[in-house]
Every structure is written in C-alpha cells, then in structure tokens.
Amino acid sequence: MDAMVKEQTIRSVPSEGFRPSKVVAKDVDVYYGDKHAIKSLSIDIPERSVTAFIGPSGCGKSTFLRCLNRMNDTIASARVTGRIAIEGQDIYDTSLDVVQLRARVGMVFQKPNPFPKSIFENVAYGPRIHGLATSKADLEAIVIASLKKAGLYEEVKDRLGDSGTGLSGGQQQRLCIARAIAVSPEVILMDEPCSALDPIATAKIEELIDELRENYTIVIVTHSMQQAARVSQKTAFFHLGILVEEGPTDLIFTNPKERRTQDYITGRFG
Amino acid sequence: MTDAVATSTRAVDFSSEAARRHVRQRYRAEARFRLYGIGAILFAATALVVLVGDIVIKSIPAFTISELTLEVEASAEAINPDGSTDPAVIARGDFVKPIREALLARFPGAADNRRQRQQLYGLLSSDAAVALRREIVADPALIGQKLTVPVLISDDADLFYKGYVTGTETDPGRGIASPSATTGDITILSSANDFSDELVAVKRALAAEARALRGERDRLRELAVGNTADLAAMTERLAATAAGAADRATLEGQVAKLTSDRDSLASTIAGYSARITDLEARYDSAGAVETLGADQPSLLVEINGGVVKATEVGNDRISGTVLIPLRSADAAAPGTWNALLLDRPEAARKVSDQEVAWLESLENEGLVSTGFNWLFFTNGDSREAELAGILGALVGTAYTMLVTLVICLPVGVAAAIYLEEFAPKNRWTEMIEVNINNLAAVPSIVFGLLGLAVFLNFFGLPRSSPLVGGLVLALLVLPTIIIAARAALKAVPPSIREGALGVGASQQQAVFHHVLPLAMPGVLTGTIIGMAHALGETAPLLLIGMIAFIVDVPHGVTEAATVLPVQIFLWSDLPEIGFQAKTSAAIIVLLCFLFLMNGLAITLRKRFERRW
C-alpha cells in the first residue's frame, strides 16, 4: 500500500505539448470528522486543458474537487491539511480571501442549479457582486458574451427576462456554465456536469468544454469513462481516497500502469 | 423449473365472495370516513356561523343613531354675551342653552314645573350642541339667526327609538273620541269600544303577575315547611339539654331565629295570598274599569295634538292626566287619534311616560332621523353610551401593532438568520434554541409582569403607552417569528446556497441575496401568526396600565392609549344596553382589523412566492 502511494509521483509525458501547471496539490489529506476521505494526495493540473478525475462512487474525487475552491469550508466537520497552490499561491493561506478565490475558481454542479431569477440576472449576479461592470451597458455586454461562450445565447436571446428555472435541463446546465464564466475565472471545476442530462444535451456540453479549454483550465469529475476519454487531455484515477494513477488520457485508457486502473477501466469493478 | 413455478405462484381470485366482501367493506369504510370529515366540517362551520351571527345581531343597534332636527335661534346672549370677535371666546360660549330653549318652545307645558323641565332637557345628549357649535365657530356671522341643526339625543332616548326600551303598539281610533278638557285630569269617551284591546292587555298582565306571585308563594310555602320541621327539632333539643349547659344559650338563640323566620315567612305568604286574590278578582271581573299603576303596561292616547296618560281604562273610556296639552277639546274623528300601548310597565324602564310622550310627539312631527352611527368611528371612549366611540382604541391598536412589527420582524429574522447560517453549532447555540422554543410557550401575562417591572419601573417609560405595549407584545411574538423564520431558512435547498457560493458570493451575500428571498413566504406566515396573536392579547397590556379610561385619541406612541381588546373588556362590564351593543360592534371592528392585517401579509407573501 505504501509503495503504491509513493509511486504517485509518476510523471507522465504530456501528449499535447508541455503545459505549465495551474494547480499544484501536495500531500493533501481531507477528514470528515474521523473519516479519512482523501489520503496524502499530490497532483498537478495543467493550465488550459481538461483534466478528468475518474473512479468508482465514494472514492473521493468530488471531495478533492471541492477542495480546489474551498467549498468544503461550508461543511462543519471537514478538515483539510496539505498544500494546494494556484499559480504558486497557497489557497488555504489565512490571508487569502476565499470569496475572491471562488471568483477565480468557478464551479458547475451535478444537478443544474440556476437561481430562481431571470436568465439575465443569473448570469449578471456574479459580475455585479464582484464589481466587474462599470455601467449597465457593460454588464449587458458581459452577460451576452458569457451566454454566447456557453452556446446558449441563440436559444434565449429574446427571452432574457424569463425565469432561469423554466429552461430544459441541458439549457439550465449551460446557463450555470455561463454564470460561472461570467466572472472570468481562471479555473472551472465541473462535478459530473452531464450526469443529469440526456445524451444530446451531454454532447452539446462536451462540445462546449472542448471550446472552453482554449481559455480556461478545466477539471471535470466524471463516472463515465467514455466521457473522460472524449473530453480530457489528462486523467487521474481515484480509488478509496487515494490517487492511484494519473497521466495523459490516451495512455491511461490504452496502457495503464496500475492493476487497479486496468480493472476499473475494463469494468471489473466500479 | 416447472415445479418452482407451480408451487411459487398462488392465484388470487378477485371474483370470489370473500374478495367481494372485502371490497364492499373497503367502500363502506371510505364512505364512513368521508361522512366523518363532512360532519367535522359542518360542526366547525355551524359553530362559526352561530358565533359570528350572534355577535353581528347584537351589534346592530350600535351602528345606527337617531338625531333630532331642531330649529334653533342662536341667540347672542347665550353664545357671545360680551360681543367678542375672538374665535376662542366664541367657541367657549353656551351652545346648550339655545337648544334647550328650542326644545322648550316645542313643549311649553313643561315650562312651569322645574322637574319636568329637567326631564325634558334630559332627553338631550350631554354633547347635543356639537353640531351647533361647529357651525357657529366656522361662521360667527350666524349668531343671532335661526338655524336648523342636528341635535344628539341621550342614549335612553336613542334606545327608545330603536325599540329596546319598550315595545309600542299603535291602534288608530275607530270611534269618535271626545275629551273633556285640554289640560289636567281629563276623561276621554269613545263612541266605539276602542280601549277593549288595551283592557285585555292589562288584564293579561295582571294574570301574569298573579301567576308569578303564585310561584313565589309556593316557593315560600316550601321554605315554611322546612322551617317548621327545623323549629320542631331545635325545640326538642333545647328541651333535652340541661338548664346550665354551655350550648343552651346558642340553642335558645337558634330557636328564637327560627321562630322569627317562621313569622316573617307567614306574613309574607299572607301578603302574597292577599295580592293574588285581589289580582284574580280584578282579572275575573269583566267590563269594569281598571286602574293602571306603574306596574302595569302604560296606555297613552294621542289626540288633538296632545297626549293623555290613562290612569283608569274601561272598554269605551279612559281617565287620565294630560302629558302634552291638547290643542282643543273638540271631538276627534275616527282615524285622527291613536291609542298607544307600551307593554313594559313604567316602573320597569328608564324612560318615563312623560318622556315617551315627548319623544313620540317629536317623531310624529318628522323631526327624528335615524342614520348610520359615524360617531362610533370618530369619537373616543366616553361615559355616555351614545357618545362612546372606537377611534381611540383603533388608533391605539394601530400604534401598538406598528411598534410590535418594527421591533419583532427585523430582530426575529436577523436572529433566525444568525442562528441558522452563521452561528457555530455548539452547546451554547443549542441552549439558546431550547430556550427560544420554551419562550414561545410562556403565558402572556408573564410578559406583562416583565413589562411592568423592566419597562415601567426600571426604565421609566410612559405608562399605558403604545410604546411599552408594543415592546411587551414584541417580546411575546419574537419566539414565534424566530422559529418560523428558521424553519423557512432550513427549507431552502442547499443547491441555491452552493450555487451562490460557487459564483463567489460571500456567506452574507448568499444568505441575503438568495436564501432569504426564497424563505420570505415562510417568514411572512410566521409574522401573520405572531401578529394575529399579538392583536388579541389583553392580559399583558392590562398589567402595563392600558386598563385606564382614555378619552382622547392618541397622537403618538408615547401618549396614553388603549387597545381594542381592552376596550371590549371595559365596555362589556358596563350595564347600559347601549354599551352592550357597542361591545359586539367593537368585536366586529377587531375582526375586520385582523382580516386587513392578514390580507396585507398574504398579499406580500404571494408576491414573494417563487417556484424553484
């Protein structure tokens, strides 16, 4: 067991040209009360590409994802040790403002959760509270740009005042993505964003992710290996709170080094 | 494989008699349950209808009031004897005197007798001159002219017009009536047996009185029987005890008392028996002339512009005293004169026959108008039943509710938000939560004691003011609002909170921009419940002094005031019929206030309601 933990420092050869690391995690432990959920995890997330976390249910991938924007702070019993740095800055440093962190690291959740406000208000809320717009016209421009980037603008451009909750599931999720990118984050975290959607909506979102990765660093948690294979450039396999293996997506899926990874990919468990 | 299938499946026969019986039983049970439900609703609805109906019916007299319209000479000697032009001096003039003079001019027969004059003036309300004063003060040039003004009448006169003092029956005369004179004691002869109905009514009243007396006498006879037995027993005991024994003195005293009881009972019974015999004799004699005393129904004859009170009545004649002088002693044609029977005897009512005569005369001349009682809504409380109004209590309630709302809503919602969203979950917050739940169950009078001790005695805030009342009620209502607000906040799905945090909102921004608006319907429901509770609270407000008799309408939250529930409580204690009706009317006003408050809150809640 310890031998495998030490082997986590395997550096895989990047297949798409070298990209510097945006997020560096080192020896991160997460405890929920007495339960040791994440065990001594270290990983690098390259910038402007898609990194996928895969693994069976309850293996800690969502937990680790939530550490990256400190959403675990809202859970009273959660305790995080270790170092997570974004562009060299430790995000658990006491001098760091967690609100600003969350503007730099956006999040899209598993079940689409638009605010029960209008579509415009949904997207405009973030820029407004962070003071990103200097005038009403400016705010409108930001909203329209975000909706366009999320691929939703054409469908809702003449009903921006309608309630966000009146959209279909796929549209709601794209709205949530638009909401997340409206504050111009550097990293976008996606926690199983397509698990509640139908295949066509899923395809649209995957297309969107592919476009977004030109400008944003994306980390996506998914329990669909096909999705990870389609969408990501780097994949990390989690099991029981431990990072078992990580590397370029094509290598992981064609030639994994670890037995457990092999078993999971071929469907022996999970 | 086939064996497993054969033994594992058991066919259920839904068409068998047993199955059908089950189905029938189920239908019957469902029908019974529906019946219980309908029965429960009917019971509740009936109770509600009966309660509300009773209050509404009792309150009707309070909503109308009768007024006299008199032509009054606004004489300068009474109103402005010094000839001043200062409006303040004019306003202090004697406006009652011209009205009294106008009334006296209508009934000159009362002028000579001081007592009668006082009776006549007693028909007016103590505030009768309010309309006259208003007109003169608005335009002092009217002094010296004849004005037609509405005049308020006393509550007994008002009640007479509403029919609560006595029932009146008017019979137009069928024959020709011939009075013997125009004033003093006169006789009126009728060519037809016009007074037979009245005579019958009188005899019936006599019979009823005899019946009542018989009942009383029988009761006393039973007491006498018991008394005799006790006396015999006591006398025996007295005889049995020795001469020097200690209890001989008490026994002798008791024997003496019982003996005197026996004698007084005997004499009372004898008196009753005599009266019963007398009444029955009068009842049985047909055609004779009956004397009408104060204990019998009154008979008044309206003839030739005057009124005669009958002291003796026969089939075709009456003798009596003139209450209002007749114009002439000429015979009156059939249909031009009336016999008026008042079924409640004079001794049993507050309005005498003379006063009834005056009031009837005024009504016959068309000077009395009945309209909606706006005074009820524009006056404060008063000792006079006809002047008492609800405005003081209404304004007091409004101020008190305002203070309560302003204090308990922000404090309650803020406390709930803090406890739910920001407070660390440790032993202290748990203790606070337990205590808040307990506070919601504390009897309301305890808050009154708290208010008395802390707000009045320690802080020295003005007694009986809406400020202190509002503070006390706010403390009462606070636990309810906190509990309801916390429940509403808990009910907001965490996905909303997470969505807001994910976009980079702070905890405070997430709560105030997203969670609180979604929790608003629940918060407002809690507010409605709390405020409705506070509106009807009487006990704590009594303790902080709001039981005082406040006449003025309060103009601020620090002036002494009363509230609607306390006003209802005070009025319900007063014996005058006018106040009884006003109690029910005040209850209706309180209910309307409640509906308005709730309606406002429900509208607000609907506006905030969003689906997510």
The interface predicted TM-score of the complex, written ipTM, equals: 0.87
- Amino acid letter for position A132: L
What is the model's pLDDT at position B16? 86
Amino acid at B460: G
CA distances from A162 to A120, B113, B172, B178, B197 (A): 8, 86, 78, 92, 82
- Contact residues, chain A, for B506 at CB < 8 Å: 99
Determine the pLDDT at residue A18.
Answer: 72
* Spatial contact of A102 and A70, defined as CB atoms under 8 Å apart: yes
Give the residue-averaged pLDDT of A35-53: 93
Distance from C-alpha of B321 to C-alpha of B299, rounded to nearest angstrom: 11
From start to end of B298-358, where are the E strands?
298-303, 306-313, 317-324, 338-342
CB contact under 8 A, B503 and A111: no
Which of B430, B503, B506, B518 has the most A C-beta neighbours within 10 Å, making it the best mutation to test the interface with A?
B503
The nearest alpha carbon in chain B to A125 belongs to B503
What mean pLDDT do residues A236-251 have? 92
Whether residue B29 is predicted with pLDDT greater than 70 in this model: the reply is: yes
Quick one: closest CA in A to B501, which residue? A102
Contact A116 B500 (CB under 8 A): no
Residue of A109, A129, A176 with shortest CB distance to B505: A129
Distance from C-alpha of B278 to C-alpha of B507, rounded to nearest angstrom = 95
Are B152 and B137 within 8 A, CB to CB?
no
Question: Nearest CA to B567 among B581, B553, B554, B548?
Answer: B548
Question: Are the beta carbons of A115 and B509 separated by less than 8 Å?
Answer: no
Cβ of B502 and A106 within 8 Å? Answer: yes
CB-CB under 8 Å, B425 with A74? no
The reply to whether the predicted model has a pTM over 0.80 is no
Report the chain A residue with the minimal C-alpha distance to residue B494.
A113
Q: What is the mean pLDDT of residues B33-48?
A: 97
For residue B500, the chain A residues in CB contact (below 8 A) are 115, 125
- A114/B501 CB distance under 8 A: no
What are the two backbone dihedrals, phi and then psi, of residue A97, each rounded to the nearest 5 degrees?
A: -80, 115
Nearest Cβ partner of A102 from B497, B501, B518?
B501
Q: What is the pLDDT of residues B127-148, one digit of tens each?
A: 888 888 888 888 888 888 888 8
Q: Which of A88, A120, A86 is closest to A105 using CA atoms? A: A86
Window from A13-17, A24-28, A228-232, B53-57 with minimum mean pLDDT: A13-17
A1 CB-near residues (< 8 Å, 6+ apart): none
Closest CA–CA distance from residue A257 to any residue of chain B (Å) = 36
Inspect the interface and report whether the beta carbons of B503 and A125 lie closer than 8 Å. yes
Interchain pair A102, B499: CB under 8 A:
no
User: A109 touching B, CB under 8 A?
Assistant: yes
Interface with chain B: mutation pick from A75, A107, A179, highest number of B CBs within 10 Å:
A107
Q: How far is CA B148 from CA B4, B99, B401, B493, in A?
A: 108, 10, 43, 72
Residue type, B144: G
- Which amino acid, one-letter code, is at B263? D
Judging contacts by C-beta atoms under 8 Å, the chain B residues touching residue A130 are 504
Residue B5 confidence (pLDDT) above 60 = no
Portion of chain B with pLDDT greater than 90, in percent:
37
pLDDT at res. B6: 52
User: Which among A74, A101, A126 is the nearest to B503, CB-wise?
Assistant: A126
Tell me the C-alpha distance between A168 and A251, whole Å. Answer: 36
* Chain A residue with the nearest C-alpha to that of B515: A115
Is B502 in Cβ contact with A129 (below 8 Å)?
Answer: no
Residue B514 Cα, gap to closest chain A Cα (Å) = 8
Confidence of residue A9 (pLDDT cuts 50, 70, 90): very low
Partner-chain residue, chosen from A102, A108, A115, that has the shortest CB–CB distance to B504: A102
pLDDT beyond 50 at B7: yes
Interface of A with B in 74-103 (CB under 8 A): 74, 76, 99-103
Percent of chain A residues past pLDDT 70, beyond the cut: 93
Distance, in Å, from the CA atom of A150 to the CA atom of A156, rounded to the nearest integer, reads: 12
Give the minimum alpha-carbon distance from A191 to chain B in angstroms, rounded to a whole number. 12
Contact B210, B300 (CB under 8 A): no
Query: Would you state the pLDDT for residue B234?
Result: 87
pLDDT in tens, B442-481: 999 999 999 999 999 999 998 889 999 999 999 999 999 9
DSSP B46: H
Q: Does A107 touch chain B (CB under 8 A)?
A: yes
A125 touches chain B (CB under 8 A): yes
pLDDT of A117 strictly over 80: yes
Nearest to A116 among B503, B504, B610 (CB): B610
- Tell me how close the Cα of A186 comes to any Cα of chain B, in angstroms: 13
pLDDT in tens, A55-95: 988 888 999 999 999 999 888 889 999 999 999 899 998 88
Q: Do B504 and A180 touch (CB under 8 A)?
A: no
The mean pLDDT value for B296-323 works out to 87
- Report CB contact under 8 Å: B503, A114: no
Alpha carbon distance B533, B266 (integer Å): 59
**C-beta atoms of A116 and B496 within 8 A:** yes
Report pLDDT digits (tens) over A198-243.
Answer: 898 899 899 999 999 899 999 999 988 889 999 999 999 999 999 9
Collapsed DSSP state (helix, strand, coil) of residue A117: coil
CB-defined contacts A:B, below 8 A: 67
Instruction: Quote the pLDDT of residue A14.
Output: 44
Q: How far is B512 from chain A (nearest CA, A)?
A: 12
Q: Which two tokens stand for residue B228?
A: 């005799």
Confidence of residue A10 (pLDDT cuts 50, 70, 90): very low
Q: Is the pLDDT of residue A12 over 50?
A: no
In Å, what is the CA distance from A44 to each residue of A3, A9, A81, A223? 20, 10, 17, 20
Chain A, window 129-168: residues with a beta carbon less than 8 angstroms from a chain B beta carbon? 129-130, 165
Residues of A in contact with B499 (CB under 8 A): 109, 113-115, 176, 179
Closest approach of A268 to chain B, Cα-based (Å): 31
% residues pLDDT > 70 (chain B):
98
Per the prediction, chain B carries an average pLDDT of 88
Does residue A15 carry a pLDDT above 80? Answer: no
Tell me if chain B has a CB within 8 Å of the CB of A113: yes
Q: Is the pLDDT of residue A11 over 60?
A: no
Q: What is the rounded radius of gyration, in angstroms, for the C-alpha atoms of chain B? A: 37
Query: Residue B250 class from Cβ within 10 Å (0-12 exposed, 13-18 middle, 19+ buried)?
Result: exposed
Read off the pLDDT of residues B376-435 as tens digits, 9 standing for 90 and up: 999 888 888 888 999 999 999 999 999 999 999 999 999 999 998 888 888 999 999 999
Closest CB to A113: pick one of B424, B498, B504: B498
Contacts of B309 (CB under 8 A, 6+ apart): B298, B299, B300, B320, B321, B322, B323, B353, B354, B357
Query: Looking at beta carbons, which residues of chain B come within 8 Å of A183?
Result: 503-504
The pLDDT, as a whole number, for residue B136 is: 85
Interface of chain B toward chain A, CB-CB under 8 angstroms: 424-425, 495-506, 509, 513-514, 518, 610-612
- Residue A1: which pLDDT band, with cuts at 50, 70 and 90? very low
Name which of A74, A91, A113 to mutate to probe chain B: the one with the most chain B Cβ atoms within 10 A of its Cβ: A113
